[in-house]
Structure 1
Amino acid sequence: MSRSPEPGPLSPVQVEVSERLPAAAVGEVRALLEAALAADGVRPVSEESELRLQHGGPVGGADLIVRDDTGTLLGYARLELPPGDPEAEAELVVAPASRRRGVGTALVARLEELAGDRPLRVWAHGELPGSAELARRRGYDRARVLLQMRRPLDGVDPDPRPALPDGVSVVTFRPATDEDAWLRVNARAFASHPEQGRWTRGDLALREAEAWFDPAGFFLAWRETPGGQELLGFHWTKVHPAGDVGDEPIGEVYVLGIDPDAQGMRLGRALTDVGLAHLRASGLSAVLLYVEEENTTAVALYERSGFTRHAIDVSWRREPRR
C-alpha cells in the first residue's frame, strides 16, 4: 500500500497578537495544549505560561495565535517583554496535525519582530527534534538546560523523623499568614534564579487558588528566636493528576529552598525527606523535580537521594540581528 504524502506548507499564515485573549480563544488554546501533551508526552508550555494565559500577566506580555483560513487554531505562543529586562522570553506550541508546515516558523519570526533589539530566549520542552531543528535553522544557541529528574517512592522512609537543629521545627504552611515570610526566603534562596527569585504576592496567590494547591504538602522550617520565629527553609510539594505529566498521578518537589544564612544546617535533606514521606503517604508511586543542569551541587544531592534524569527542557537564545 502506498503511503499518503505529508501535507505541504500552508499558505502564508497571519499571526494574531493580543495582550489578553478572549475566553473562547483561551479555551481553544487549552485544548491545543492538551492535544500536544497527548501527542508528545510532555507539557508544551510551562505552568507560568498557562497561568498567564488564563489570568493575564504583567505588563509587556502577549499571546500569539495562528489560525488557518477556516478559523482552526494551528499554533500558540506566549511572549514576555518585562519593562527593564534586557531580554525577551517565549514559549510556543504547534498543533500536532499542523507541524512542519510553517506554523512554528511564522510564530518564531513574529516573536523575533516583537522582541526587537532584545535577545530572545525560547523554551523547548522535552527538546523534541522539530524544535531543535527550527532553533538551529534560525540561529539560536542552547543557553540553559533544565533537567527533569524522577525517583520511585517505594523506598522512601514513611516516618523520617529528621534530626533538626535545636529550636527548629517543621510545620505546614498557613494560608493568609505565612506568605510574606515565604516570599522573603524564596527571594533570598533564589536570588540568582531568573524566574523563581522574582515571585510576587500575586504569583503566590495564583497558585494558592489552583485546584492542586494543598497546604498540607507545603512544609516550613522555623527557628525560635527571642523576637518570635524565623523562617529558614521550605519544601513545597505538588501532586499532578493522571494525564498531567504521565499516565499515573505523580508527586513533585515543587520548590525546595533554604535561606542562605541557614546553609550548612542540613535542612535541605531534612525537608526533602519530610516532603517525600508526605507524597508516599498520599498513595503516590513516584516523584519528579526540575533542576538546572549547571547546578551540579543540587544535581548530585538529588542523585544521592535516588533521583535519575528523565527528560530535559532547553532554552534557546538568539541575539538580535543588527
Structure 2
Amino acid sequence: MSSAEPTSDQVTRTDRLTPAEITDVLALVRSAGEVDGADPLDEHVLLRLRDPDAPSVHLTARADDGALTGYAHLDTTDPVDGIGVELVVHPGFRRRGTGRALARGVLASATGPLRAWAHGDHPSAAALAVDLGFHRARVLWQLRRPLAAPLAEPRLPDGVVLRAFQPGADDAAWLTLNARAFAEHPEQGRWSADDLRVRLAEPWFDPAGFLLAEESSTGRLLGFHWTKVHERPGAARIGEVYVLGVDPSAHGGGLGKALTTAGLAYLRDRRGLDRVMLYVDDSNTGAVALYQRLGFAHWAAHVNYHLG
C-alpha cells in the first residue's frame, strides 16, 4: 500500500472471478510473497479463490495495458464481527496509489465493521490504515525454530496414547475437540465440517502428520497436533505447527508440550525438514512462553486492523 498520487488503474468489483482472473491473482500473490517474505493472503482466502461457490467480493486493479496491479478480497460471511479484508499490490506497481485505490473500493463495497490483515506488518500498510481510520486490534506472531537443535522426548500423561488421524472416522470427534480447545479463538474455533473437508483434500495433507492424543481407556480425544509441510518451487521446504489444541479438561498435565515435541520429531525424522514455523497471537502469553521454552523465536508479525 502507498500514499502516492492517485493511480490511473481501473478498479473493478465482482462476486466471481473467471479462471483466467484467478490465475492472474495467484501469480500476483506469488510475486508479492517472494519480494516481501510473507504471503499476502492467508490460507482461508486462497481456499476461497479456488472455490467458485464461496461467497466473496473481489476487487481487481489493472493498468491501461490490462496487467493486474492489485487485488483485494472481502469475506462477507460474518458481517456482525466484521467483513474480512485482505489486499495486495504487485511489487512492480507499488508507490503509485494502487493500494489506496483498492482500499477506497473496499470502503465503497462494504457495509458494517471491517477487519483487514496486513501480513508482514509493512510500514506502508500501517500508514494507509491510519489514514483511513483503522486501528490496530490484533497481532499474530510467526515464530520459527531450527529442527537440528535437540528435541526432548515426548512425555505423555499416564493413560494417553498418540495415533494418526483417520479421515472420515475422526472428523466429527475432532471438530468437537477443536471447538472446545479454541472456544475463544475468532477463527479456529468456528471451523465447520466443510472447513475441515477442504483442507483434508489439499495436496499437502498427510494423515500421518495429524497426531491425535487419545485417552486409552475410553478412546476420547484429548488433544492434537496437525502438522503441515510447505513446498514451493525454488523455495526451501519448511514445516509448520499448523494447529495444536488441547481439551480444556486436559490442561496442566504437559499434554501440549508432548504433542508439540511429537509433531516436531515427525517433521524432522519422517519428513526430513530442518526448520519449522508456527503462528500464535501475541496476547496468548501462555502459548508464547511454551513455544519459547521449546526453542522458538520471533520471526515476523501480522497485524489485524479494525474499522467500525
SS in 1 for 2:176: helix
Which one of the candidate residues 160, 168, 178 is aligned to 1:176? 168
Residue 314 of structure 1 pairs with residue 303 of structure 2: yes
Unmatched runs of 5 consecutive residues or more in structure 2: none
Partner of 2:134: 140
1:22-61 superposed matches below 5 A? 22-56=18-52, 58-59=54-55, 61=56
Aligned residue number for residue 205 of structure 2: 213
Q: Contact between 1:44 and 1:125, CA under 8 Å: does it hold in 2?
A: yes
| CA distance in 1 between partners of 2:171 and 2:307 (Å) | 37
Give the aligned residue type for 1:169: V
The alpha carbon displacement at 1:242 in A equals 4.4
Q: 2:230 aligns with which of 218, 240, 248?
A: 240
3-state SS of 1:55 partner: coil
The aligned counterpart of 1:285 is 274
The answer to whether the 8 A contact 1:64-1:76 is kept is yes
Q: Distance in 1 between matches of 2:193 and 2:20?
A: 28
TM-score (norm 1): 0.90
Partner of 1:230: 220
1:246-257 correspondence runs (5 A): 247-257=235-245
Output aligned runs, 1:1-322, within 5 Å.
9-11=6-8, 13-56=9-52, 58-59=54-55, 61-83=56-78, 85-116=80-111, 118-157=112-151, 160=153, 162-225=154-217, 228-242=218-232, 247-281=235-269, 282-319=271-308
> Shift of the alpha carbon at 1:191?
1.0
1:198 Cα deviation (Å)?
Answer: 0.9
RMSD: 1.8
Q: 2: distance between equivalents of 1:208 and 1:122?
A: 27
1:9 shift after superposition: 4.6
Q: How many residues align?
A: 304
TM-score in terms of structure 2 length: 0.94
1:136-169 Cα shifts (integer Å, max 9, x gaps): 1112111100000001111243x82x33233211
For residue 131 of structure 1, report the CA deviation from its aligned partner: 1.1
Contact 2:80 2:113 in 1 (8 A): no
Distance in 1 between the 2:89 and 2:179 partners?
Answer: 34
Per-residue Cα deviation, 1:272-316 (whole angstroms, up to 9, x for no partner): 110000011121111100000011111111101100000000011
Distance apart, 1:129 and its partner CA: 2.0
SS of the residue corresponding to residue 154 of structure 1 reads coil
Worse-matched range after superposition: 75-84 or 134-143: 75-84
| Secondary structure class of the residue paired with 2:109 | helix
After the TM superposition, list the runs of 4 or more consecutive aligned residues in structure 1 that deviate by more than 4 angstroms: none
| Structure 1 residue matching 2:194: 3-state secondary structure | helix
Report the CA distance shift for 1:176/1:300 in structure 2 as closer, same or farther (over 3 A).
same
Question: For the residues of structure 2 that align with 1:298 and 1:243, how far apart are their CA atoms?
Answer: 32
Q: Secondary structure at the match of 1:74?
A: strand
Q: Structure 1 CA distance, aligned partners of 2:225 and 2:182? A: 14
What residue identity is the alignment partner of 2:173? A
Question: Any conservation in 1 of the 2:142–2:279 contact (CA below 8 Å)?
Answer: yes
Is the deviation greater in 83-92 or in 29-38? Answer: 83-92
Shift of 1:8: 6.5
Q: Which runs of 5+ in 1 are unaligned?
A: 1-6
Do 1:243 and 1:249's aligned partners in 2 also have CA atoms closer than 8 Å? Answer: no
CA apart distance, 1:119: 1.8
